[in-house]
Structure formats: structure tokens, C-alpha cells
Amino acid sequence: MSTRAYVSFFKKSLQAHLAYGGAFFVSLLANAVGFALILLVWRHAWRGPEEQRASFFAYLTIAFAVNFSLNLFLERSIGERIREGLIATDLVKPVDFQRLYMAQSLSDMLFQVFLALAAVAVAVPFLGTALAPASWAHAGYGLISLGLAFFVQYFLCFVFVQGIFITYQNYGVFATRLALHQALSGTFAPIESYPPTLRAVAEWLPFQHVVYTPTSIFLGRVPLERVSTLLLHQALWAVALYALGRWIFSLVLRQMTVQGG
Amino acid sequence: MGWRKELSICFKAFNAALQTKLEYRADFVLGLTGAIGFQAASLGMLSVLLHSTELLGGWRGPEILLLFGLTALTQGLSELFFNHIWYVPLYVVRGQFDRLLTYPVSTLPFFLVTSPELHAFGNLIAGLTLFSVGAIKLGLPWTVWALLPWWAVCGCLIHTAVLTLCGALSFKIVGSYGQHYWVSNALLQASRYPLNIYPRFMQGLLLVLLPFGLINYVPASALTQRLPLALAIIAPALAAALCVSVAWTAFNHGLRYYESSGS
């Protein structure tokens, strides 16, 4: 199958975002409120050296932007279609199911990146150069890492979505993934500031590669000589999750029942 | 129709909806673990904060657990009895209020009770556990257990009323996912931390305009001798009554803007 079908699906998804642009703006507002509250809590709780304060808050800001950009809502979009039986029409289309939804998720990300950049712009007067990448190399690697983070996040969501084919409801799957994401991705704080046990767990799981890795690389919290190792870890996680998702999906298809009618 | 008859219809509808939900057993288990996982994740965040500083606004870990517990209980009760409010945006887009508007009962209460969520039990279990751990560690007297249902019910009504205001907005801000609900949710989550760490305007917002602080901060402050107990008993109830009446009026007003989708 040529990529034309996926490109077309991508464009249609983007148009759908534009049709509900107001709703997405409200989504940004909701996320920004959540982010502002994190800032307010940390403003009070921060006890590190004063010279690292701006760098810490810059981390939180870029982490927010990355996290918002990679909110994929896959459980919701696929979950509704499974529950209502509409998934049958997706499965009979002459396209690959996993790639079809990847095209939609890519359009989600693209749309959200622009909104997130607007939110970062608001922080510039307060944090100034602390928000800038450490070097051109860090900026470049940070963007590559963001691209890999998309794949890790998408394939991670895809693995979790398989649970909806069994439970027919999306909340449990969504809540489980989001809870793990919130605790282990480094959205709330850089992973090096976690308590030892939580840090050890976070370092063994892929969630850190969605937010913490691209943010840390971009801001130069990671020395350049370690960047290639981190990018490799991200890529390996993406491949592993892609393969795992495809394998579970093939098993799920054998036993699935289409709802409705 | 009299209010008793309406109440009986709502109860029957709630019961029937609950039976339907119980059919999805795998989701019940996953929802339960997911909700408990959410609470565990927020505890993880708290542990990161307390790893950085021992006291947060003068509050110790067990005292903050009271705030977390009360918030989770409030959320759990609201999800169990009134979760349908989250579906207003979707129903508006799809024109699904047509059917509801023809029923010979008040639309809002009937609508609210007809989609209980079983993952609510996860929040209720987590909330009760967090509150209990906090209360035991602080050596609080047995009377706190007698007051807990009162605060949980008042909190549930306040939380649901604010969500109902968001629902009312959905008749104007059309979009299927109701992102504006998450503003309210984010503010509720914010109230799990001692309000004195926030700037004055935030404290005012969370104590007066959207009084989530009365759900958890005021009761926990009373339990830890920071505020008089009488205030913690009366204020949440008054706020709940006021919030419910404002939200109900706003929702009925919002319904006037409802247009069927025609699909």
C-alpha cells in the first residue's frame, strides 16, 4: 500500500483539529493550568542551589511543552470505535491499522507542538536564556530525540490500547497508562531528583524516554558524549514496543468480537 | 410529578445502569487498578516533593495525606453517583439530549445518575486508605471517622456542581472531548496541597469561587488544629448547597442553547 492513503488520513485528521480548534485551545488552557500549578508547588518546595533555580524551572517548562505535544489520546479515539463497533470499518480498510492511527497521532502531535510553543513563549520573559538549548548540537539532538519520543509514546499507547479490545472500555487502560506516565516520565520533576526507589523504577521503563530524555538533551542536562546512548535507548524501546504492539494485535484480532449491529 | 416519584425513578435508573456496568468485569478490575494507580502516581509526585523539602507550607507528610485522602474520596463518590456529567460535550455534539429532554423527569438529576463508573471504587479505596494512614499516624481521635462521610458527601456535591458548570459551558463550547472539564480537575488536584503555599489569588479562587479548598483543606486544617472544627463542619455544607443551586440553574440555562445534531 502506498503512503498516499496515510498522508491523506493525516491531512483529514489535521482538518478535523482545525474544525475543533477552539476545543484544542481549551485543552491547552487546561494543561497550562495544570502546569502552572506544578510551577506554584515547586516555587514553594524548591530547595536546591539558587543558581540552578532557573535551569530547574526551564526543565519543567520544556517538559510541559513536550508532554503536551505528545498527548495522543489513542485510548479514547480507538476505544470509542471499539465500544461502538465502528472498529470493524477500520479493520476492513486496505491499510495497516497501526500505521493508520500513527498518521492521526502524527497530526495530533503537529497541531499540539504549535500550541505548546505558544505556551513556552509565555515563559520566555520569566526564564529567558535558561529556556534556550545548551548548544546547536543539543538543539539538533533534542529534536531528533523528540521525534523518537513520538514513536516511543505512540507504540506504548498502541500496546496499552490492545487492552481495550478485551475490556471494551477505555478508562481502565487509559488510567493505568496515564498513571505510569505521570509518575515515571519526568513531567513533574527531572528524574535525577526522584527518591532512589522511584528513580530506579523510572530508569528501567520506557516512560522516561517520552518526556525526560528529549527535554534533558535539549537543555543540555545530559553531556554530549551520553546523548548517542540515550538516543539508542529511545530507538530500541520504539522498535521493541512496535514489535510488541504488532504481536499482541495479531493475537487480539483472533479472538475479538465486534460490538453493536 | 412529585420529587419522591422522581427520586425513585432516578434510583431505579442508577441501579439499572450499575448492573450494565457490572457486565464489563475485566474493565472493572482494570479501572480499579487504574484509579488506584492514579492515586499512587500522585503519591509518587508527593514523595518527589518531600524528598526535596520536609515540610510543605508547614504541613508534614501525614497531614498532607489527609488532603489526598479527602480529595480521592470526593472524586470517588462523584464518579460513582454523578459521573455522567463528563459526557455532556459528547452528547451535545451527537444530539443525544433529544431523548433525555422528552423524559417526564428533571433532566439534570436523571442524567447525572445514569452512568455510574466502577473505577470510582478505586478512588474510594485509595482515599479511605490515605486518610486512614494519615489519621493513624497523627493519632487523631475516633470522631474524625464520624465526620468523614459528611465531608465526603459535601465534597462530592461541590465537585459535581463545578463539573456541572463545565457541562453547562459545553452547550456553548462545542467539541466532543470537553477539555474544559480538565481545568476544573486540575484545580481540584491543586487543592490536594496545602493552600497556603499558593499566592493569595489562588487561595481565594480555591476557597471562594471554586471552593475545592472546603472539600479537603478546611477539614484537614481543623483536624490538625489550624482551624476551628465548627467552621469545617458548616462551611462545606453551605458551599455545597450554594454550588448545587448555581450549577443546576446554569445547566438549565445552558440547555436552552442546545441544538440537535440532526444525525
C-alpha distance from A61 to closest chain B C-alpha (Å): 17
Q: In chain A, what residues touch B125 (CB-CB under 8 Å)?
A: none
From chain A, which residues contact B within 8 Å (Cβ)?
A: 20, 22-24, 26-27, 29-31, 33-34, 37, 40-42, 44-48, 73, 76, 163, 166-169, 171-176, 178-180, 182-184, 188-189, 193-195, 198
Give me the pLDDT at residue B45, please: 87
Burial (CB count <10 Å: 0-12, 13-18, 19+), residue A86 = middle
Query: Where are the alpha helices (H) located in A46-96, listed in sequence order?
Result: 53-69, 74-83, 87-91
Other CB atoms within 10 Å distance of the CB of residue A257: 8
Report d(CA B182, CA B185) in Å as an integer.
5
Give me the pLDDT at residue A81, please: 82
**Residue A137 in contact with residue A228, Cβ under 8 Å?**
no
- Nearest CB to A171: which of B34, B44, B56? B34
Q: Which residue of B has its CA nearest to A171?
A: B31
Q: What is the pLDDT of residues A66-109, one digit of tens each?
A: 999 998 878 888 888 887 778 888 888 888 888 888 988 898 88
Pairwise pLDDT comparison (A7 vs B250), residue with the higher score: B250
**Residue A47 in contact with residue B52, Cβ under 8 Å?**
yes
Grid coordinates representing A53 are: 533555580
Give me the pLDDT at residue B73, please: 96
Amino acid at A52: Q
- Nearest CB to B52: which of A23, A46, A198? A46
Label residue B132 by pLDDT band (50, 70, 90): very high
Question: B84-117 in b/e burial notation, b at 16+ Cβ within 10 A?
Answer: bbbbbbebbbeeebeebeeeebebbbbbbbbbbb
Q: Which residue of B has its CA nearest to A179?
A: B38
**A209 — phi, psi (to 5°)?**
-80, -5
Asked if B30's CB is within 8 angstroms of A198's CB, the reply is no
Q: ipTM above 0.90?
A: no
Q: In chain A, what residues touch B176 (CB-CB under 8 Å)?
A: 20, 23
Report d(CA B63, CA B71) in Å as an integer.
13
Residue with cell 525526560: A212
- Give me chain B's average pLDDT, please: 90
Q: Between the CA atoms of B9, B13, B15 and B18, what dihedral angle is there, to the nearest 10 degrees?
A: -160
Asked if A167's CB is within 8 angstroms of B24's CB, the reply is yes
Q: Does A260 have pLDDT greater than 70?
A: no
Give me the pLDDT at residue A92, please: 82
Report d(CA A248, CA A255) in Å as an integer.
11
Q: Which of B22, B33, B184 is nearest to A171 (CA)?
A: B33
**Residue B251 in contact with residue B164, Cβ under 8 Å?**
yes
Total residues found in chain B within this entry:
263
Q: What is the pLDDT of residues B67-110, one digit of tens each?
A: 999 999 999 999 999 999 999 988 888 888 888 888 888 889 99
Which residues make Cβ contacts (< 8 Å) with residue A176, sequence separation at least 6?
A160, A163, B30, B33, B34, B37
Q: What is the pLDDT of residues B237-263, one digit of tens each?
A: 999 999 999 999 999 999 888 887 655
Q: Which of A72, A96, A84 is nearest to A149 (CA)?
A: A72
Grid coordinates representing B78 are: 462523584
Q: Which residue of A has its CA nearest to B47?
A: A195
Give me the pLDDT at residue A160, please: 92
Report d(CA A86, CA A5) in Å as an integer.
19
Q: What is the pLDDT of residues B148-202, one digit of tens each?
A: 999 999 999 999 999 999 999 888 877 656 777 888 888 998 899 999 999 999 9
Grid coordinates representing A4 are: 498516499
Report d(CA B226, CA A26) in Å as an integer.
37
